[in-house]
Amino acid sequence: MRSLSGAKTLDVMRVRQDFPVLARETRKGVPLVYLDSAATAQKPRTVIDAMTNFYETQNANIHRGIHRLAEEATEAHEAARKRVADFIGAASSREIIFTRNTTESINLVVFSWGRSNLHSGDCILLTEMEHHSNSVPWMLLAEELGLRLEFVPITGEGLLDLEAYARLLELEPRMVGFTHMSNVLGTINPVKKMTEMAHEAGALVLIDGAQSVPHFAVDISDVGADFMAFSAHKMCGPTGIGVLYGREALLESMPPFLGGGDMIKRVSLREFKANDPPYKFEAGTPAIAEAIGFGAAIDYLDELGMDAVHAHEQQLIGYALERLAEVPGLQQYGPDAEKRGGVVAFTFNGIHPHDLAQILDDVGVAVRAGHHCAMPLHESLSIPATTRASFYIYNTIEEIDALIGGLHKAKGVFG
């Protein structure tokens, strides 16, 4: 296995040793080639150990207990919150709300901010490349309140049409929501410019950062968005915990999303007073071990360096696009390598993506097949589904070669 030339300081062979799952075989003699990190990333030993250590030495509920274990658990949980805030450049850890995932984070904005600020006829502006998590919640609220939904189209190159975006902003939307990086096309959108344009039009901005925060440096203070959502499990952390970043003044003005323990200051029989952010939005016992694992994942990525992570993935996607272009009958979707992250979706020779994924699995290559929770985007491309390969810090050139070999095998099977 050769290293990637010029991959800055990222030592891929060392990185691979940190991930226990990469040592397994999918069947006898067939090593795992994991190319599905856009769905969920694998976990390094340091994350697994951090969560195990919590359960073995500190397990207790947080915020309310005054015994030693409760105090240690609370301190570890809140330290993880500060790690998240620092990682994305938030002004304060009070702007970091722990949720279950990106989907819940977006739903929090929709049903807390949206219900209390939007009225019939108000416009919400989204894009054609959104994950269902950033469209379906708005559809639900639109049906409830009589909102108007508009969508920024994509170009033939797989980029957002910024001229159309400027025209749609003339509709004076109350909220503009867009993905930072498409989970299908890999397109990295110019979020700072789009945020500035939206603010000039009087709109707030919600960014889906699920595919960006794990893969390159994101400074929310520089981007200037009002809200951003992302998940731990796509950035080497555990499942079951995500983040909503929100500007503190906005969070203070929003009503609670869920009711129960820890989100209140005082309760009487007929009324309650909500807690301060972020706790106002964190009802019930949180994912304590998962938050600690999340903090360990951020420490791991920080040690690698996000510039090195991005450089590695840029070289992988550049090589992948070149090799895929050599395969007869294969159609790629999305922009050139310099305008996208480490994701490539494609169709191949009339073979259904599910069948293709099965053939690839036979040679140990794990990819994703389907619409990737982006059915409207596939409709705009006039295709029902795609096969998607996605790359991360532990992938190598040789694994891309294995993908290409699997495609040739599939061509032979299906003629």
Tell me whether domains 12-43+305-414 and 48-303 share a fold.
no
Catalytic residues: 373
Kindly state the tokens that stand for 329: 């009958």
Per the prediction, the chain carries an average pLDDT of 95
CB atoms within 10 A of CB 348: 22
171 pLDDT more than 80: yes
**Average pLDDT over every residue of 138-162:** 98
Name every residue whose Cβ is closer than 8 Å to that of residue 372 and which is 6 or more positions away in sequence. Answer: 38, 131, 183, 184, 345, 386, 388
Report cis status (omega within 30 of 0) of the bond before 278. Answer: yes
214-229 per-residue burial string, b: 16 or more CB within 10 A, e: under 16: bbbbbebeebebbbbb
Domain positions in the chain: 12-43+305-414, 48-303
**Average pLDDT over every residue of 182-188:** 98
Instruction: Tell me the C-alpha distance between 22 and 297, whole Å.
Output: 17
Give residue 231's Cα distance to chain centre: 5
Q: Do residues 309 and 215 make contact, with C-beta atoms less than 8 angstroms apart?
A: yes
CATH architecture for segment(s) 12-43+305-414: Alpha-Beta Complex (3.90)
284 pLDDT more than 60: yes
Q: What is the pLDDT of residues 204-218, one digit of tens each?
A: 999 999 999 999 999
Class in CATH terms, 48-303: alpha beta
CA distances to 274, 290, 321 from 255, in Å: 8, 26, 46
7 pLDDT more than 50: no
Q: What is the pLDDT of residues 245-261, one digit of tens each?
A: 999 999 999 999 999 98
CA 229, 303, 16, 5 torsion: positive or negative? positive
Instruction: Tell me the C-alpha distance between 261 and 264, whole Å.
Output: 7
| Residue 329, burial from CB neighbour count under 10 angstroms (0-12, 13-18, 19+) | exposed
Q: What is the pLDDT of residues 108-127, one digit of tens each?
A: 999 999 999 999 999 999 99
Q: What is the pLDDT of residues 397-413, one digit of tens each?
A: 999 999 999 999 999 88
